[in-house]
Amino acid sequence: MANWIKSVLVVLLILSASGTVFPQSQKAQPKTRILFLLDASGSMLAKWENSDRMNVAKNLLAHLVDSLERYENLEVALRVYGHQSGRERNDCKDTKLEVPFAEENSESIKKKLDQIVPRGNTPITYSLLQSAGDFPADKSRNVIILITDGLESCGGDPCAVSLALQKKRIFLRPFIIGIGIAPEFEQQLSCIGQYFNAADVKTFENVLTEIVTQTLSETTVSVELLDEQGKAVETNVNMTFLNSLTGDTEYNYVHYKNGQGKTDLLDIDALVPYDLVVNTTPAVTEQNLKIKPGQHNVIRVKTPQGVLHLRQDGPSPYGQLTALVREQDSHATLNVQTFGSKHKYLTGQYDLELLTLPRIHLKGVEIKQGQTKTITIPPPGQLAIVSQMQGYGSIYELDETGKQRWIYNIPEDNSKITLPLQPGKYKLVYRMKSAQGSKFTDVQDFTVRSGATTSVKIFNR
């Protein structure tokens, strides 16, 4: 047995050292914990069909927790409010965790349900706050199912509390089952979580079943990246599923299509609200995805792309020449692309700033779907200042009309430089450090040609 354990450890160490990647779907799934938060205020004694609201809730919950015993990696618990004090006491802290989380505790829950008698208020807010401490401090899927026939009666804000606890990842978006709630009051409960209206006993039973299905059934999605004609042809793009409530990253994937052009199926937790970010350039975001639990969902995102190819004829004295790519008329840099490379962009128009000397600005470069746009620039020439002087000077670019624009300052300690410049006309303005006046400034015009060296000498004046 000892040798067998050693062999397993060796294999695990080898896999770890080799960087073996395990699919996200194969990682250990967290335990699911369901907390039933049951309203036992006095109004739950109201008649409902052939019984009263409380007895219906007790019976259906008892059957439900029995059926949950067959699920692995699942624990349930029961918190009740409004059952310890009569309404005359106006007890707004009347809530208690009656059965803590444990495995196979259905009998304990059913026994406790038999003992509960509706009596008091409806402190939903305080009960939600207390429920935060009911869940063990581990990375489980924490779910609350609130069953109530009334609104908050203690002046709290259950919607704000629920949102705050969801953002802290104490629990996922709660399920709310309203029993006998008037339509005009439903909005006050739907902001707490996903609301269901149980208008009759049969609906109540169906809602409980549906919630369990949503909580425990496998949910899958596939993402189709569409071109301008709506065809799912794009792939090999990073995708990020964000929790739309917290902004946290839930899943990272690189989009995949098999040889038949089919996208694969991804397992996700349907109880989390999602935004999907497709990390094209620029990124495309689909907010508040409509995910149907227990089903396969197809998410279609329009991401038509083309390719920008930057190239330069001949060797570059710049070294690694780059370009700043921006969306048209935007000041924000979208990407820094090196010459000699190809990069995919969403179809549209872009502005490019090539980090040559002087810089080249290209406006409205159009990227078309499925096509490659090639930008080619000629090799620069070189300016060689052969004089070894100390002083102050600059190089200016001259446009077609002769107007000058500063582009470069010559080093003060030594003017002898070799500088790559784009083909064009330029002006050198220089004064030696030893010169005793501005009138001794040397001004020279010169021309730079592609692939050629232009030598300029600074005169000692």
Domains of the chain, start order: 26-216 (3.40.50.410), 219-302 (2.60.40.1120), 305-377 (2.60.40.1120), 381-456 (2.60.40.1120)
Buried b / exposed e across 322-348, counting CB within 10 Å, b at 16+?
Answer: bbbbbbeeeeeebeebebeeebbbbbe
- Burial category of 27 from C-beta neighbours within 10 Å (exposed 0-12, middle 13-18, buried 19 and up): exposed
Q: What DSSP element (H or E) covers 428?
A: strand 424-432
Task: Give the DSSP per-residue string, 437-454.
Answer: SGGG-EEEEEEE-TT-EE
Residue 10, pLDDT score? 43
Dist. CA 115–CA 429, nearest whole Å: 97
Dist. CA 46–CA 149, nearest whole Å: 10
Helix 53-68 crosses helix 106-115 at what angle (to 10 degrees)? Answer: 170
Contact 249, 268 (CB under 8 A): no
Contact 332, 397 (CB under 8 A): no
Radius of gyration of the chain (CA): 35
Listed residue (388, 221, 212, 188) closest to 295, CA to CA: 221
Residue 86, pLDDT score? 85
In angstroms, how far is CA 358 from the centroid of its own chain? 39
- HSE-CB at 267 with a 13 A cutoff on CA atoms is 10
Residue 25, pLDDT score? 55
Along the chain (461 residues), what's the average pLDDT of each consecutive run of 10 residues?
Answer: 44 46 63 96 94 95 93 95 90 96 93 95 96 93 95 93 94 94 89 94 94 92 96 96 94 95 93 96 97 94 97 79 96 96 98 96 97 94 94 96 96 95 96 93 95 90 64
Residue 164, pLDDT score? 96
Q: Could you give the 3-state DSSP secondary structure of residue 187? A: helix
Q: Tokens for 165? A: 């606890």
Contact 221, 255 (CB under 8 A): no
Dist. CA 365–CA 349, nearest whole Å: 5
Strands 322-327 and 348-354: antiparallel
Dist. CA 172–CA 60, nearest whole Å: 23
Listed residue (311, 453, 431, 330) closest to 385, CA to CA: 453
Listed residue (362, 423, 431, 364) closest to 397, CA to CA: 423
Contact 421, 448 (CB under 8 A): yes
Beta strands in 82-210 (DSSP E): 95-102, 141-148, 175-179, 194-198
pTM of the model: 0.83
Q: Could you give the 3-state DSSP secondary structure of residue 197? A: strand
Task: Give the DSSP per-residue string, 4-48.
Answer: HHHHHHHHHHHHHHTT----GGGSPPPPEEEEEEEE-BGGGGSEE
379: amino acid identity, one letter: P
Q: Which residues pair with 450 in a beta bridge?
A: none
Dist. CA 301–CA 441, nearest whole Å: 62
- The pLDDT tens digits for 264-298 are 999 999 999 999 999 999 999 999 999 999 899 99
Spatial neighbors of 259 by CB under 8 A, at least 6 apart, are none
- Looking at the chain, how many residues does it have? 461
Dist. CA 200–CA 217, nearest whole Å: 25
